[in-house]
Amino acid sequence: MVLSGTIVNALAISGGTLAGLFFKRGFKENIREITNQGLGLSVMFIGISTTLSGLLNPASKPILFIISLVLGGILGEMMRIESHLEHLGDRLKERMGEGHGRVSEAFVTATLIYCVGSMAILGSLQSGLHDSHEILYAKSILDGICSVILASTLGIGVLFSAIPVLIYQGGMTLLASFIGPYATDEIIREISTVGGILIFGIGLNLLEIRRIRTGNFLPALLIPPLWLILMHQLGR
């Protein structure tokens, strides 16, 4: 089945979330606080290392990276993406009642971590083009473990990240024959570079160092592929 890898990935996230919520019940406040700090530091390290690995590549385009963040942030601010996500999270929290953590923050945090990166792109293309799911199965294990930690800290909002994973990876899998020729190493690198800095921003939020509206920067992920594809079509 061509979507097996994506479905397993979504189930791993769901299972990891439920396990994290179960373990969360036995955590004292000081344990939750130190877990949140450890998670924030880890997320910041993952984000900055991902960004630096892209920027330090001789073929990288630092100007495109800057333009993507600035223009993407402006577009996201105009669209009020973060506000809409927070509103959705508040509505979900009202339906479920109190005690379920920061739903919108958990949703955005988990979605970016699971969807930004080369494994999501390459794994989806491998599934769609070759009906082979090794990359997504490996990603499922990593995401499942990460879900346990995220859910034990941020709450049930992590569970809803399985939906964009299904849509994002499933969509790329089904459209792999069309997307494949455009998913060059250059495009994947530039998307990961921008995504890495958004993950770093999530780390800042988790540690409460500075409030970054990461949701408003989501359009920044679309600018590198659109720009590089346009330049390729123009022969530049």
Residue spans per domain, the chain:
4-233
Beta bridge partners of 155: 101
Give the separation between CA 182 and CA 234, rounded to whole angstroms.
14
Q: Which amino acid is at 29?
A: E
Tell which residue, 4, 16, 19, has the closest CA to residue 137: 4
Query: 79 pLDDT band (50/70/90 cuts)?
Result: very high
What pLDDT does 127 receive? 92
CA atoms of 228 and 208, how far apart (whole Å): 35
CA distance 92 to 179: 34
* Distances, alpha carbon 40 to alpha carbons 44, 48, 154, 229, in Å: 6, 12, 11, 34
Which residues does 59 contact at the CB level (< 8 Å), separation at least 6?
Answer: 186, 189
Helix (H, G, I), strand (E, B) or coil at 101: strand
pTM of the model: 0.82
In this prediction, residue 88 carries a pLDDT of 76
Lowest pLDDT segment from 9-23, 61-75, 115-129, 132-146: 115-129
Residue 115 above 70 pLDDT? yes
If 0-12 CB within 10 Å is exposed, 13-18 middle and 19+ buried, where does residue 230 land? exposed
pLDDT for 236 beyond 70: no
Radius of gyration of the chain (CA): 18
Bridge partners, 101 (sequence order): 155
